[in-house]
Structure 1
Amino acid sequence: MRFYLFVPLLMLLSACSAPPELESPSPTLPDAWQADTPADDPVPPWLTTLQDDTLAALVAEALVANPALAAARQQLRAAEQRVRLVGADRYPQLSLELGSRRQEESVRMDSLELSLGWTLDVWGKLAADQREAELNRAVAAAAHTEQREALAAQLAQNWFALQEARLLLELYRQRRDNLQQNLEIIESGYRQGLNEALDLYLARNNLHAEAARVAQQQQTLSELQRELERLLGRYPSATLTSSARLPLIETPVPAGQPSDLLSRRPDLQQQWLTLLATDAALAAAHRARFPTLRLNAAQGGSSDSLSDLLSSGNLAWSLGASLVQDLFDAGRKAALQEQALASRREQEQRWLEALFQSLTEVENALSARHSLTTRHALYLRAEENALNAERLAFEQYRNGLESYTTVLEAQRRALDAQTSVISLRRQLLDNRIKLHRALGGRFQADTPDQTEALDTP
Structure 2
Amino acid sequence: MVNASPSFRRAAGITIPLLGLILSGCAVGPDYMVPRLALPVSWSSSGTETPSRPVELARWWERLGDKELDALVEEAVAGNLDVAAAKARIRTARATERQTNAALAPSADASSSAARQKSQGEVGNQFKGGFDASWELDLFGANARSSEAARYGSQAADEDLNAVLLTLVGDVASNYVAARGYQARIALARQSAASQRETAALTRKKFEAGSASAVDVANAEGQAASTEAKVPDLQTSYAEAVHRLAVLTGRGPAELDARMKRGGPIPRPRRPVPTGLPADLLANRPDIRQAEREYAQATAKIGAATAARYPSVSLSGAIATTATSVGDLGKSSSISWSLGPSLSVPIFNAGKLAAAQEAAEATRDQYFVAYKAAVLGALEDVENAIVAYRQERIKNGRLAAATQSYRKASELAQSLYQSGSSSFLDVLDAERSLYSAEDSLLTSTVAIADNYITLNKALGGGWDGIVDASKPEVVDANTGPRLRKVSAN
Task: Name the residue aligned to 1:164.
Answer: 181
Q: Counterpart in 1 of 2:54?
A: 41
Residue identity matched to 2:38? T
| Residue 40 (structure 2) aligns with | 30
* Structure 1 residue 23: Cα displacement: 9.2
Q: How many residues align?
A: 433
| Partner of residue 436, structure 1 | 456
- Segments of structure 1 that go 5 or more residues without pairing to the other structure are 1-15, 451-457
TM-score, normalised relative to structure 1: 0.88
Aligned 8 A contact 2:162 2:462 in 1: no
Q: Who is 1:117 aligned against?
A: 134
Closer, same or farther: CA 17–218 of 1 in aligned 2, 3 Å: closer
> 1:239 matched to which residue of 2?
258
Partner of 1:417: 437
Identity of aligned residues (%): 29
The whole-number CA distance in structure 1 between the counterparts of 2:436 and 2:116 is: 94
TM-score norm. by structure 2 comes to 0.82
1:295 paired residue among 310, 315, 320 = 315
Q: Write the distance in 2 (CA, Å) between the matches of 1:299 and 1:182.
A: 103
CA distance in 2, matches of 1:398, 1:235: 52
Conserved? CA contact 2:177–2:267, under 8 Å = no
Q: 1:175 to 1:165 in 2, by over 3 A?
A: same
Say if 1:86 and 1:52 are closer, same or farther in 2 by CA, change over 3 A. same
Correspondence for 1:53 among 67, 76, 90 = 67
1:88 corresponds to 2:102: yes
* Paired AA for residue 240 in structure 2: E
Q: Answer yes or no: is 1:343 the counterpart of 2:357.
A: no
Q: CA deviation at 1:38?
A: 2.8
The answer for the alignment partner of 1:355 in structure 2 is 375
Which is worse superposed, 236-245 or 420-429? 236-245
User: Secondary structure, in 3 states, of the residue corresponding to 2:38?
Assistant: coil
CA 1:382–1:447 in structure 2 vs 1: closer, same or farther (change >3 Å)?
Answer: farther
Amino acid at match of 1:85: Q
Deviation of 1:386 after TM superposition, in Å, equals 1.2
Amino acid at match of 2:40: P
Return the offset for 1:312: 4.5
Q: How far did 1:393 drift?
A: 2.6
Q: Distance in 1 between matches of 2:398 and 2:118?
A: 102
Distance verdict in 2 for CA 1:159–1:20, change over 3 Å: closer
Note the 1:367-378 alignment, pairs <5 A: 367-378=387-398
Provide, for residues 353-373 of structure 1, a one-character-per-residue CA deviation record: whole Å limited to 9, x for no partner.
110110011111111122111
- Change over 3 Å in CA distance of 1:149–1:20 after alignment to 2: closer
* 8 Å Cα contact 1:164-1:244 kept in structure 2: no
Write the letter of the residue equivalent to 2:428: L
In 1, are the aligned partners of 2:313 and 2:341 still within 8 Å (CA)? yes
Of stretches 261-270 and 238-247 in structure 1, the one that deviates more from structure 2 is 238-247
Counterpart of 2:235, as a letter, is: Q
C-alpha contact (below 8 Å) 1:66/1:233 kept by paired residues: yes
Cα separation, partners in 2 of 1:109 and 1:203, compared to 1, 3 Å: farther
CA, structure 1 residues 447+439, in 2 after alignment: closer, same or farther (shift >3 Å)? farther
- 2: distance between equivalents of 1:98 and 1:393? 103
Q: Is the 8 A contact 2:299 2:364 kept in 1?
A: yes
In the TM superposition, residue 310 of structure 1 has moved relative to its aligned partner by 5.0
Give how far 1:325 is off.
Answer: 1.4
Unaligned segments of structure 2, at least 5 residues: 1-25, 470-489
2:82 aligned residue (68, 76, 100): 68
Question: CA shift at 1:121, angstroms?
Answer: 1.1
Q: Cα distance 1:24–1:86, how it changes in 2: closer, same or farther (>3 A)? A: closer
Contact 2:323/2:332 (<8 A) preserved: no
Deviation of 1:31 after TM superposition, in Å, equals 1.3
User: Is residue 209 from structure 1 mapped to residue 226 from structure 2 by the alignment?
Assistant: yes
CA distance in 1, matches of 2:239, 2:31: 58
> What's the C-alpha RMSD, in Å, of the aligned pairs?
2.5
Does residue 1:143 correspond to 2:176, yes or no? no
Deviations 1:109-153 (A, max 9, x none): 554321011111111111111110010000000110111121111
Structure 2 contact 64–269 (Cα < 8 Å) conserved: yes
Offset at residue 380 of structure 1 (A): 0.4
CA spacing shift, 1:172–1:17, aligned 2, 3 Å? closer
How far did 1:199 drift?
1.5
State the AA in 2 paired with 1:383: T
Task: Decide which of 280, 294, 302 is 2:300's aligned counterpart.
Answer: 280
Match of 1:252 among 272, 277, 291: 272
